[in-house]
Amino acid sequence: DVKVTQSSRYLVKRTGEKVFLECVQDMDHENMFWYRQDPGLGLRLIYFSYDVKMKEKGDIPEGYSVSREKKERFSLILESASTNQTSMYLCASIPDRGVYNEQFFGPGTRLTVL
Amino acid sequence: QKEVEQDPGPLSVPEGAIVSLNCTYSNSAFQYFMWYRQYSRKGPELLMYTYSSGNKEDGRFTAQVDKSSKYISLFIRDSQPSDSATYLCAMSEGGNNRKLIWGLGTSLAVNP
């Protein structure tokens, strides 16, 4: 059974804190993604990674960075959290093999920045 | 104009109704068309996918793609309260492009 896990379901941080969101997949997938999901704005891609130590900016990378030191783990970092980064954060992964892009999602982390 | 347009609803129907959910798109290079279902406080899960034009049926669900009109649909027959969720359409050019382009999602409530 495929599985994507995220380190926290709910997180509350203060403005200016450095925040780490962790995502781990056990499916040996090459590609991993970080999204945020907000009412009225849908899913927006922050960063993605095609391979270990590789990263590409998505549509809204400002204020975020990522790290992929191991194939199974993709971390999202908020260098200095701000209130407008309060959101639901979703991690997803897909393999290189396969003819279509089914993304497997984690359960999400609801982050509140006070 | 967004690349993928989807009416966010909310849509409320009685149990047993036929539900029609739709998305339009502007990029003619899209080849793969997907519908994801997202329950409250969960991540999205793939419900159905279609390659290029045509219909695909899976139980009570039917996905249709009309590439000439750049229009995709998801039909749910005999809707159940357990179908209450947000339905997101997603599209991809495929090949080496692993990014999905997402609709906003339509919130559906099926009332017993």
Boundaries of every domain in chain B: 4-111
- Please compute, for residue B37, the number of CA atoms within 13 A of its CA located in the half-sphere on the CB side: 13
Within an 8 Å CB–CB cutoff, is residue B76 touching chain A? no
CB contact under 8 A, A103 and B41: no
Residue of A nearest to B100 (CA): A101
Best mutation target, B100, B106, B107, to test chain A (most A CBs within 10 A) = B100
Q: What is the structure's pLDDT at A96? A: 78
State whether CATH 2.60.40.10 applies to domain B4-111: yes
Cβ atoms of B1 and B65 closer than 8 Å? no
Q: What is the structure's pLDDT at A100? A: 67
Q: Give the minimum alpha-carbon distance from B55 to chain A in angstroms, rounded to a whole number.
A: 17
Nearest Cβ partner for B94 among A41, A92, A101: A101
pLDDT, tens digit, for every residue of B17-36? 999 999 999 999 999 999 99
Distance of CA B64 to the CA centre of its chain: 9
Best mutation target, B101, B102, B106, B107, to test chain A (most A CBs within 10 A) = B102
Q: How far apart are CA A99 and CA A77, in angstroms?
A: 31
Within an 8 Å CB–CB cutoff, is residue B58 touching chain A? no
pLDDT per residue as tens, chain A (114 positions) = 668 999 899 999 999 999 999 999 998 999 999 999 999 899 999 999 999 989 999 999 999 999 999 999 999 999 999 999 999 999 999 887 766 668 899 999 999 999
Tokens linked to A33: 């993604």
Q: Residue B56: which residues within 8 A CB-CB, separation 6 or more?
A: B48, B49, B50, B62, B63, B64
Report helix, strand and coil shares of chain B as percent, to nearest 5: 5, 55, 40
Cβ atoms of B36 and B88 closer than 8 Å? yes
Give me the domains of chain A, ranges plus CATH numbers: 4-98+107-113 (2.60.40.10)
pLDDT, tens digit, for every residue of A3-18? 899 989 999 999 999 9
Q: H-helix or E-strand containing A11?
A: strand A10-13
Q: How confident is the model at residue B53 (pLDDT cuts 50, 70, 90)?
A: confident
